[in-house]
Structure 1
Amino acid sequence: MIAVWALGAFIATIVAWNALLKRNIGESMIAGFLVVGVFAVVADGPAQAWHSISDGVLDAMQEEVTFAGLAFVFMSFLLVKTPVLDKLIDVLNSILGRLRGGPLYTSTVAAGIFGSIAHVGAAVTAAVGTVTVPWMKRTGVKPELAATVVAGCAGMGVTFPFSATMFILVGGLVAIGAMTADEIVLPLALAGLWCLGYRIALCFYLVRRNKIQAIDAEHRMPLKTSLSRGWQALTLFIPIAIPLLLTSGWIATQVGNYSGVGETLKAPVKLADGTKLDPVPYAMSDVISLITWIPVLMIGLVLLLGRKNLPRTAKSWWSTLGKVAPAFGVIGITIVAAFSASNVLADLGLAKQLTAILSGLQAPAWIMAIAIGVIVVAIAIPLTASATMAAVGPVAVLALAGVGVPIPIAAAAVLIFASTEGASPPSGAPIYVASGIAQVDPVKTFIPLLKYYCIPILGIGVLIALGLLPV
């Protein structure tokens, strides 16, 4: 069980380094990664451990989330330097500014809508947070709260049909004859609505707890005025819309049919290292990455729209980039260290060891529901929801079924547990995307995410499994 101990030591080191020693999250993540490295040396010996660690770091540096986190930091910096975002926020305030906490409610509902389309947590955060995080900050919401709300809503990509995570779990259950594919659709849709309803209720609480007020009438422009002054700012939605349209829906289908994407390849794919992969069908979402292209297109558009307010010389640009460099350093190191540690933990056999624990559980239904939920959430800290379902999904469902939970309901509950990946510090990718957009230290979101999203969503999954929340 050395991987389980390594996970515990990883989290404890980060908390101690950051909270007790008062060091920044970048240093804390490096310290946590080094501790995981020590466990790898003990378990596998220096040579194998070095191979695992070096491969883990290389993979982390090549992760698209690493690029996306840094790209969103730069995009946010550019937006602050230009009046483009201010004009867009003036339009949004003209429409919803009279509602207390309007940006929070908009962000939550939009995440539910995008989640049912995009399904990838970091992509949901990117699409929604690009607009709503700066809007929240402009209306007086603290940056860490803005980042928390957006990252906390990322999991709705898993809690609504028909995500890849759902198909991974259902595929395993269908293969063993436990259920048919269509049995999960209605329970999961209703479970997703319970999660969305909780998040909306949470917004109501957060608005009042933080005394967030509506925008004063004298600070709200009439819609006609704000549109006449800033209609160009509405084009900021285009960099979000283009990747979404090209990866889902009718347009994506037509482009995929024209380009051949979606067709099963006629022969195995041979990689540069000689590895052969079996023929597989690809979707447009495999070809076009939302979290890569949204910031890239957004940066390009902001450079165009805000060109009059941006530096004109190389010296001025160098000076400007120097001001954003510290944020690049902290976010970049934090993401790389988090994903590197996750890779090493995976090599140590974390999923297999937690599966063994899960398989051996014997307890009453309510204890089983809580225990399975905690284990799935723990696995989802270093892994994605999809990887979690591939590792332990069917075992978790069958364990719940063993204490009388109907399999479709158990499957919906397990997917709810796995959806906490975006709100599970310190490794949730949406945390770093949201923090990059909000330009805030990610560690400031850790406790709020656990308190407002991770633990309550775990509780919703338990209540669903026990039949106390009907689905």
Structure 2
Amino acid sequence: MAGVWALLAFVAVIIVWNAVFKRNIGEAMILGFVAVCGFAVFGGTEDGGSAWSAIEHAVVDSMQEEVTFAGLAFVFMSYLLAKTPVLDKLIDLLNSVLGRLRGGPVYTATVAGGIFGAIAHVGAAVTAAVGSVTVPWMKRSGVKPELAATVVAGGAGMGVTFPFSATMFILVGGLAAQGIMQADEIVKPLAIAGLWCLGYRIVLSWFLIRRNGIEPIAESDRIPFGRSLRSGWTSLLLFLPILVPLLLTRGPVAEALGTYSGVGEALKKPVALADGTKLPAQPYSMPDVISLITWIPVLMIALVLFLGRKHLPRTASGWWSVIGKAAPSFGVIGITIVAAFSASNVLADLGLAGQLETVLSGLDAPAWIMAIAIGVIIVAIAIPLTASATMAAVGPVAVAALAGAGVPAPIAAAAVLIFASTEGASPPSGAPIYVAAGIARVDPVKTFLPLLKYYCLPILALGVGIAVGVLPV
């Protein structure tokens, strides 16, 4: 059970160093990673290979993660936006329409997260797309930066809680291969479960708005719609960096482009589940070749450079100064992301998924106890792993365990996906946390406790309620 102990040590070291000794999260994540490496060096990896080689590959892979690039790119994008009036004009326009509504940008971020999640399904991409506009808007409306980052990161999980995500297909593919249920049986339960999760987030937004005293924008501060549209219509182009990658990866344009380019002719590697079951190789699709989380910040930066060109430096020395002033913002977020993914990779080499699967297989209790136990285990796995990796590792056995306790398989599958959707709100390793923190330009650790309190644990409770029938699906 070295992987389980390493996970506990990873979380404990981070909490102690950051919360008890009051050191920054970058240092805490490095020490947490070192603790995990200690288990690999002294206890060995699951396959018996070189621990040092596993650690080296873990670090290299983490540096090549697209979320590492995206997190830093969003920091730079946010810094550039602050140097130009482009976003200010867009926010003036949005406030002209929704500024009279108390907490308008918070509600917008929540509902937009649900809509975008149902389309894009990738947690970090949901955070990137929604947060690019709503985080600065919330900050301008008086919302604290850490709360703004919390709201958009907390909505990332809705990419998993609605059909038809890759995570869902990984889970139901394994279940269908084992004869537990058919793929189409989960669509209705998961769609309703997703609406429960969205409904909770809307109620939470209402609570947060009132608890934090967020008021409507004063009428004297709201520019009439016609005037704001005339002066700031070009700022609406900021939605293009979100819409263009989305159109190229989803819908008829994406299908036509995929057919023309022959993307679907190549096959991905078969997905291997923890129990040895191999799902058939699936063809590549446009989301596999055009990454939303990579291209949204790249296109956003390019557009800001164009729209804000009159307010940005025109000399090399001027740009050197701008980059130098932005550099401190990269440090903590960059180190934290690399350490988080590196630790995740080493934990996988220690056999964490298989060890937790063994725990799941040995559970035998009433349905409500099983639901709580399985929920806690899946949430724990989703701390270092993505939702898709979690479902590949323990998804089918978790559903089988719940079904054995009397929960109908489609409902059990929906509940398990709800549990896994906490990946975006599970400190300290959730990728959406760092994307949101980068956009808000805030220390990610300030979102940890709110995410646990307002999103992670309540979503766990929703999954349990769905599994035991308290919340009908």
Q: CA deviation at 1:146?
A: 0.3
Alignment of 1:45-444 (within 5 A): 48-264=50-266, 280-444=282-446
Q: Distance in 2 between matches of 1:99 and 1:227?
A: 19
For 1:287-312, what per-residue CA distance to the aligned partner results, in whole angstroms no more than 9, with x for missing partners? Answer: 00000000000000000000111112
Residue number in structure 2 paired with 1:30: 30
Q: Distance in 2 between matches of 1:38 and 1:267?
A: 32
For 1:213-246, what per-residue CA distance to the aligned partner results, in whole angstroms no more than 9, with x for missing partners? Answer: 0000010011101000100000000011000000
Q: Distance in 1 between matches of 2:132 and 2:317?
A: 29
Query: Number of aligned pairs?
Result: 462
Give the aligned residue type for 1:260: G
Q: Distance in 2 between matches of 1:210 and 1:357?
A: 41
CA 1:40–1:313 in structure 2 vs 1: closer, same or farther (change >3 Å)?
same
SS in 1 for 2:8: helix
Percent identity, please: 76
Q: Distance in 2 between matches of 1:424 and 1:267?
A: 28
Give the aligned residue type for 1:21: F
Contact 1:264 1:279 (C-alpha < 8 Å) held by counterparts? no
**Aligned-residue CA RMSD (Å):** 1.5
For 1:134-183, what per-residue CA distance to the aligned partner results, in whole angstroms no more than 9, with x for missing partners? Answer: 00000000000000000000000000000000000000000011111110
Q: Which runs of 5+ in 2 are unaligned?
A: 271-279
SS in 2 for 1:237: helix
Q: Distance in 2 between matches of 1:169 and 1:288?
A: 24
CA 1:267–1:291 in structure 2 vs 1: closer, same or farther (change >3 Å)?
closer
SS in 2 for 1:177: coil
Q: Distance in 1 between matches of 2:226 and 2:412?
A: 51
For 1:389-425, what per-residue CA distance to the aligned partner results, in whole angstroms no more than 9, with x for missing partners? Answer: 0000000001001111000000000000000000000
Give the aligned residue type for 1:129: G
Contact 1:97 1:220 (C-alpha < 8 Å) held by counterparts? yes
Scaled by the length of structure 2, the TM-score of the pair is: 0.96
SS in 2 for 1:262: helix
Q: CA deviation at 1:279?
A: 6.9
Give the aligned residue type for 2:227: T
Contact 2:193 2:414 (C-alpha < 8 Å) held by counterparts? yes
Q: Distance in 2 between matches of 1:3 and 1:351?
A: 8
Give the aligned residue type for 1:413: A
Q: Distance in 1 between matches of 2:79 and 2:246?
A: 24
Q: Distance in 2 between matches of 1:34 and 1:103?
A: 40
Residue number in structure 1 paired with 2:275: none
CA 1:319–1:262 in structure 2 vs 1: closer, same or farther (change >3 Å)?
same
Q: CA deviation at 1:319?
A: 1.3
CA 1:157–1:47 in structure 2 vs 1: closer, same or farther (change >3 Å)?
closer
Contact 2:360 2:398 (C-alpha < 8 Å) held by counterparts? yes
Residue number in structure 2 paired with 1:19: 19
Q: CA deviation at 1:263?
A: 2.4
4+ residue segments displaced more than 6 Å: none
Q: Distance in 2 between matches of 1:356 and 1:24?
A: 36
Q: Distance in 2 between matches of 1:349 and 1:151?
A: 28
Q: CA deviation at 1:363?
A: 1.3
For 1:49-84, what per-residue CA distance to the aligned partner results, in whole angstroms no more than 9, with x for missing partners? Answer: 111110000000000000000000000000000000
Residue number in structure 1 paired with 2:43: 43
Give the aligned residue type for 1:322: G
CA 1:420–1:266 in structure 2 vs 1: closer, same or farther (change >3 Å)?
closer
For 1:182-232, what per-residue CA distance to the aligned partner results, in whole angstroms no more than 9, with x for missing partners? Answer: 100000000000000000000000000000000000100111010001000
Give the aligned residue type for 2:30: I
CA 1:462–1:280 in structure 2 vs 1: closer, same or farther (change >3 Å)?
closer
Give the aligned residue type for 1:158: V
Contact 2:162 2:190 (C-alpha < 8 Å) held by counterparts? yes
Residue number in structure 2 paired with 1:9: 9
Q: Distance in 2 between matches of 1:419 and 1:425?
A: 13
Q: Does structure 1 residue 463 correspond to structure 2 residue 465? A: yes
For 1:107-135, what per-residue CA distance to the aligned partner results, in whole angstroms no more than 9, with x for missing partners? Answer: 01001010011000000000100000000
Give the aligned residue type for 1:388: T
Contact 2:163 2:187 (C-alpha < 8 Å) held by counterparts? yes
For 1:73-112, what per-residue CA distance to the aligned partner results, in whole angstroms no more than 9, with x for missing partners? Answer: 0000000000000000000000100001100100010010
Q: Distance in 2 between matches of 1:455 and 1:65?
A: 24
For 1:321-379, what per-residue CA distance to the aligned partner results, in whole angstroms no more than 9, with x for missing partners? Answer: 11111111111100000000000000000000000011101111111100000000000
Residue number in structure 1 paired with 2:276: none
Give the aligned residue type for 1:13: V
Q: Which moved more, 1:178-187 or 1:254-263?
A: 254-263
Q: Which runs of 5+ in 1 are unaligned?
A: 269-277
Give the aligned residue type for 1:320: V
Q: Distance in 2 between matches of 1:176 and 1:73?
A: 45
Q: Distance in 2 between matches of 1:363 and 1:280?
A: 37
Q: Distance in 2 between matches of 1:383 and 1:266?
A: 20
Q: Distance in 1 between matches of 2:242 and 2:120?
A: 12
Q: Distance in 2 between matches of 1:119 and 1:371?
A: 26
Q: Distance in 1 between matches of 2:190 and 2:230?
A: 44
